Amino acid sequence: MPQLFSPFPLANLTLPNRVVIPPMCQYSAADGNATDWHVIHYGNLSHSGAGLLIVEATAVEPVGRISPFDIGLWSDENEAALRPVVEAVRRHSSMPLAIQLGHAGRKGSCAAPWDGGKQVAEDQLGWQTVAPSAIPFKPEERAPLALDAAGLARIKAAFAFAAQRAQRLGFDAIEVHAAHGYLLHQFLSPLTNQRTDDYGGSLENRLRFPLEVFAAVRAAAPQMVVGIRISATDWVDGGWDLEQSVALAHELKARGCDFIHVSSGGLAPQQRIPVGPGYQVPFGERIRRETGLPTITVGMIDQPEQAEAIIAEGRADLVAIGRPMLYDPRWPWHAAAKLGAQVEAPPQYWRGTAPAGLFSTVKPGERFKR
Per-residue pLDDT, 368: 39
Identify whether the C-beta of residue 67 lies closer than 8 Å to the C-beta of residue 27: yes
pLDDT band at 366 (very low <50, low <70, confident <90, very high): low
Distance CA 134, CA 246 (A): 27
Per-residue pLDDT, 361: 63
pLDDT at 370 over 70: no
- Residue 360 forms part of a structural domain: no
- Residue 359 forms part of a structural domain: no
Q: Which domain holds residue 227?
A: 3-349
Burial class of residue 369, CB neighbours in 10 A (0-12, 13-18, 19+):
exposed
Distance CA 360, CA 245 (A): 39
Give catalytic residues, as residue numbers. 182
Distance CA 286, CA 289 (A): 5
- Residue 354 forms part of a structural domain: no
pLDDT at 367 over 50: no
- Residue 358 forms part of a structural domain: no
Residue range 227-237, pLDDT digits in tens: 999 999 999 99
pLDDT at 369 over 90: no
Identify whether the C-beta of residue 183 lies closer than 8 Å to the C-beta of residue 105: yes
Per-residue pLDDT, 356: 87
Identify whether the C-beta of residue 257 lies closer than 8 Å to the C-beta of residue 228: yes
pLDDT at 271 over 60: yes
Identify whether the C-beta of residue 104 lies closer than 8 Å to the C-beta of residue 68: no
User: What is the percentage of the chain residues whose pLDDT exceeds 90?
Assistant: 95
- Residue 363 forms part of a structural domain: no
Maximum separation of any 2 CA atoms in the chain, in Å: 64
Q: 136-140, 200-204, 347-351 — which is least confidently predicted?
A: 347-351
Phi, psi of 296 (to 5 degrees): -100, 130
- Residue 103 forms part of a structural domain: yes
Prediction pTM value: 0.96
Instruction: Quote the number of domains for the chain.
Output: 1
CATH of the domain at 110: 3.20.20.70
Q: What is the mean pLDDT of the chain?
A: 96
- Residue 365 forms part of a structural domain: no
pLDDT at 362 over 80: no
Per-residue pLDDT, 353: 85
Per-residue pLDDT, 1: 86
pLDDT at 109 over 60: yes
Average confidence (pLDDT) over 308-325: 98
Residue range 284-302, pLDDT digits in tens: 999 999 999 999 999 999 9
The full 3-state SS of the chain, as one line of letters, equals CCHHHCCEEECCEEECCCEEECCCCCCCCECCECCHHHHHHHHHHCCCCCCEEEEEEEECCHHHCCCCCCCECCCHHHHHHHHHHHHHHHHHCCCCEEEEEECCHHHCCECCHHHCCCECCCCCCCCCCEECCCCCCCCCCCCCEECCHHHHHHHHHHHHHHHHHHHHHCCCEEEEEECCCCHHHHHHCCCCCCCCCCCCCCHHHHHHHHHHHHHHHHHHCCCCEEEEEEECCCCCCCCCCHHHHHHHHHHHHHCCCCCEEEECCCCCCCCCCCCCCCCCHHHHHHHHHHHCCCEEECCCCCCHHHHHHHHHCCCCCEEECCHHHHHCCCHHHHHHHHHCCCECCCHHHCCCCCCCCCECCCCCCCCCCC
pLDDT at 360 over 90: no
- Residue 192 forms part of a structural domain: yes
